Copies of this chain bind each other. A is one copy, B any other.
């Protein structure tokens, strides 16, 4: 079980945009070079963030990506969910018992993880 590289790229891109603190769009070319990943692939990842309303995209010359207006509220969990999806970490496929005690433990542990990630905002990492 691992977080995907895509999540890593998304988090670092968000942090970079937050540090920039400018409204001028940053092109995927530049973002991709910094992270040593292909622009088309990164673009596909960032499109997910656009669809979740975390960043805005601007087509055309001098286009690129900018943070959305509410960016200071965006948590690690938001970004992770946008990339990895929101489905549970643990599937108890065993006879689909709704009262499976193992599932209960696993889901409650997952909840503590999510609470932690929900409390951590990208904007906290920017303030000096």
Contacts and interface: CB of A to CB of B under 8 A. Distances in A.
Given A4-B1, A113-B113, A76 B91 contact: no
A15 B101 contact: yes
- Copy tally for this chain in the complex stands at 2
Contacts of A1: 1-4, 84, 89
Nearest to A121: B105
* Chain A interface residue bracket vs B: 20 to 34
Secondary structure class of chain A's binding surface, majority of residues:
helix
Given A2-B1, A15-B102, A8 B113 contact: no
Nearest to A3: B90
Given A109-B76, A109-B120, A116-B109, A8 B92 contact: yes
20 contacts: A1-B1, A1-B3, A1-B4, A1-B89, A3-B89, A3-B90, A3-B91, A5-B93, A8-B90, A8-B92, A11-B102, A15-B101, A76-B106, A76-B109, A101-B125, A105-B117, A108-B116, A109-B116, A112-B112, A112-B116
